[in-house]
Structure 1
Amino acid sequence: MELAEYQTIRVAACDINGQMRGKRVPGSYAEKLDEGAVRMPLSALNLDITGADIENSPLVFETGDADGVLRPTGRCPVPLPWLEVAQPLLPMVMHLDNGTPFDGDPRHALAAVLERYATRGWQVQAATELEFTLVDDSGDALAPVRNPQTGRRSSAPGILSMNHMDAFDGFLSALYDGCATMGIPAQTITSEAGIGQFEVTLHHQDAMRAADDTWLFKALVRGLARRQGMAATFMAKPFDDDAGNGMHMHFSVLDADGRNVFDDGGPGGTATLHAAVAGCLSAMTATTLIFAPHANSYARLVPGQHAPTKICWAYENRTAALRIPGGPPAARRIEHRVAGGDINPYLMFAAVLGAAITGVDDNLAPPAPITGNAYEADLPQLAPSWAEAIDLFETDPAVTRIFSPGMIRNLVMTKRQEMQLMQGVPLAEQWKTYLGTV
């Protein structure tokens, strides 16, 4: 794709809440992007969920709201098939003027974690399963989506229903087409337990590319839904009395010879797998804020409501926070099942993979895997509230093993400002803040 041929193109980086922040620039800029032609305030990646500056942010008051330099991530330009006029997007990442990665950029946070694997000669392979809900936001209250075939509101779950997928075939077919156009490897789509809810599985691949694809996929889903007269949301809990949206992450690790370091030839997995599991478990409470970053997130994290809140692991057990799926030993992997669909993919990947490699570095051993229903077991829990999650993220040593001081400070300041903001918004109105932003 020759960017210079377009009248305008888009350049954007990922902010702390997972939103795209950037500019629409002339196509003629294409030749200058590698040279840092696009500048943007560093603070633009540390805005709150409404797009407002963070009060008393050091990025504003200590630096004079200095600019950073946007540079291409190395990904090819991406078409945006929901737009009326073709405007390719070039994903960018923020640097300081001297070329140093800006530690408030979530993509750099993941890159730093992946470098810890690279020093061992390892490469992380990852995939995501994302749930989203199609809704009608045309009225004063959020409502279930209308069935395109009948015009009536959807009123019942359609778990693995082919009829449900038939009803939304126009949207789902456009979604597959959009993924192909954008280079996002979509695999299966299933109808899920929520009204108007679907889950899409993205293919196992290089972890950074998987995070990039997850970020782009969320924009694609929202954009295509709007184009077809609906709205789509990854809110953790769109409706109080319906299923929430989760995001499961699968990962394995390959050594320099391409061998899976979790594979011991049998169902149990290697000591390295067990150490990675132990690392994930030990940091899970402290990093709850990454898995549940918003006020609405905690409506999903209710014990016994099919969202793992208890810290444990198991083989082939979907009630556990960490699941070791069955299948061929060569594909042995860890499935992290805690996060809501409203996460920032880069921070979520960084939290999970950072905890795992810390477990390997420290040679940690996990407790015994559970059997039976984790929802009914007496086990350690995630942080029970947004406020406690913020406090733990700020103070727990496990977090400092994964994230830079700047990222910790920025996220904590952002979430405290958002918490104060959302305290003044009635529960019935909070969807207006989150519907198109998470």
Structure 2
Amino acid sequence: MKNWLRKHPEVRTIRVAAADLNAQARGKRVPTRYADKVVEDGTRFPLSVLNLDIWGEDIDDSPLVFETGDADGVLKPTERGFMPMPWLEAPTALLPIWMFREDGRPYEGDPRHALRAVVDRYKAMGLTPVVAVELEFFLIDDSGRKLQVPVSPRSGKRRKAAETLSIRALDAFDTFFTDLYEACEEMDIPADTAISEAGLGQFEVNLMHCDDALRAADDAWLFKMLVKGLARRHGFAASFMAKPYEDYAGSGLHTHFSVLDADGRNIFDDGGPLGTDLLRQAVAGCLNAMAGSTLIFAPHWNSYDRLVPDAHAPTGICWGYENRTAAVRIPSGSNAARRIEHRVAGGDVNPYLMLAAILGAALNGIEDKAEPPAPITGNAYALGLPQVPTTWADAIDAFEACPEIARIFAPELVRNFVLTKRQELHYMGDLTPEERVEIYLDTV
């Protein structure tokens, strides 16, 4: 890690940052002359900092604050090490960190540790999940009272129409996407294809599959930070909020995953299009935990504007082969690449919690040898299926009471997340829709 800074003498300051439960970057600015101390000894801030609400406020009834004297945790660098922050004007490095207790134990309220615990369960069975994510986001002109598509730097025009898979829409913001891909190279984020999507100024970028789930979550977290910061340098906003426009589809964050055994074989591949019993067991685990996991996949007030029928976001708890109306889809293609696509999450999620919920649920199903219902065919919205929770309040209650969630997440994280979301639900109820959009636009 120290060698990276020595190779980049132009960097004069660093940021050390961890993801809180809302995936907000919490940390400090440090002069580079003190970087060695941070690398060797870590840094400190209160345990409660990873459990702030979306406004950055303490949770009113959290035992982490006054009840325990607002004790410190120790923040240590992750294995990711230093990387540039290309969206800032001054040369700056980011050092991702995660939280431990004073005695060296991982802090169970840290979302990155929640995912690590799930990965450790796979390792104990000789298994390795392979993960890829697809991130949708909007480019937005938020300079006026009404959100709208930014003016194209190339044409000087504002195109107010959906542009699904439009090369013209990509070309209209070619300068931004060129800078974005160059920045991904600098940060070692494996950005693959980009497409335009069905919403106003909506795009999707796929990140390449990775056999390190923690790194895949890091990539998604860093990518969201990069996109939002770089867009501001280009004179507009970028947002991963679930549904900025009432009349257009929202943004999802779809996850593809397979699982390798100790010999590197895909345990979902049986040489045919249907996949193995283990694939179906993993699907069953995902479906069994889906109602309880919805708070992870839809963590904000605005998230539930996206989870409505006939809006390209799955609402029925079901699975199917090559069916994008299903919550869990088995894509076609190479048998060797047989995988599961989980389609419920919005773009506004915490990537660490999302991958922990998906991979943990799949492993629950494999451990239990669970059997899924029959795969659906046709339009899932028209089949009268069991539904995911349709309100934020119901999702909070389902998460708190779900036995599958209790197998995936530590009790402290469940408690902290529930307290956070109940506080946000209370205060969001006092705001206008415009005020909610304003807070979510830049944060999530």
Q: Shared fold (TM-score greater than 0.5)?
A: yes
- Partners of 1:357 and 1:137 lie apart in 2 by 42
* Other structure's SS at 1:389 match: helix
CA contact (8 A) 2:285 2:365 kept: yes
Q: Does 1:181 align with 2:186?
A: yes
1:230 aligns with 236
Q: Deviations over 1:337-379 (max 9, x none)?
A: 0000000000000000110000011110101111111111111
1:190 aligns with 195
Q: State the shift of 1:186 in Å.
A: 0.6
1:350 aligns with 356
Unaligned runs of 5+ in 1: none
TM-score, normalised with respect to structure 2: 0.97
State the one-letter code of the partner of 2:263. Answer: D
Q: Does 1:22 align with 2:27?
A: yes
- Partners of 1:76 and 1:15 lie apart in 2 by 19
State the one-letter code of the partner of 2:309. Answer: P
- Partners of 1:259 and 1:229 lie apart in 2 by 47
- Partners of 1:260 and 1:247 lie apart in 2 by 23
1:436 aligns with 442
- State the identity %: 61
Q: Deviations over 1:40-75 (max 9, x none)?
A: 111111100011111021111222101111101111
State the one-letter code of the partner of 2:233. Answer: R
The one of 42, 54, 61 aligned to 2:59: 54
CA contact (8 A) 1:29 1:37 kept: no
The one of 333, 338, 341 aligned to 2:339: 333
Q: Does 1:401 align with 2:403?
A: no
CA contact (8 A) 1:3 1:9 kept: no
Unaligned runs of 5+ in 2: none
1:211 aligns with 217
The one of 249, 261, 267 aligned to 1:243: 249
The one of 46, 53, 71 aligned to 1:66: 71
- Partners of 2:17 and 2:326 lie apart in 1 by 36
State the one-letter code of the partner of 2:308. Answer: V
- Partners of 2:356 and 2:39 lie apart in 1 by 26
The one of 127, 134, 144 aligned to 1:122: 127
- Partners of 1:2 and 1:148 lie apart in 2 by 35
2:141 aligns with 136
- Partners of 1:35 and 1:57 lie apart in 2 by 31
State the one-letter code of the partner of 1:3. Answer: L
- Partners of 2:40 and 2:28 lie apart in 1 by 16
* Other structure's SS at 1:70 match: strand
2:326 aligns with 320
Q: State the shift of 1:14 in Å.
A: 0.4
- Partners of 1:44 and 1:139 lie apart in 2 by 33
> After the TM superposition, which residues 306-317 of structure 1 pair with which residues of structure 2 at under 5 Å, given as runs?
306-317=312-323
State the one-letter code of the partner of 1:285. Answer: A
CA contact (8 A) 1:71 1:95 kept: yes
CA contact (8 A) 2:137 2:251 kept: yes
TM-score, normalised with respect to structure 1: 0.98
- Partners of 1:75 and 1:306 lie apart in 2 by 35
2:49 aligns with 44
CA contact (8 A) 1:47 1:414 kept: yes
- Partners of 1:140 and 1:421 lie apart in 2 by 23
- Partners of 1:74 and 1:227 lie apart in 2 by 29
Q: Deviations over 1:172-225 (max 9, x none)?
A: 111111111100011100011011000000000021111100000000100110
CA contact (8 A) 2:20 2:49 kept: yes
- Partners of 1:264 and 1:124 lie apart in 2 by 17
* Other structure's SS at 1:45 match: helix
Q: Does 1:363 align with 2:387?
A: no
- Partners of 1:162 and 1:143 lie apart in 2 by 20
- Partners of 2:97 and 2:41 lie apart in 1 by 10
Root-mean-square deviation (CA, aligned residues, Å) is 1.1
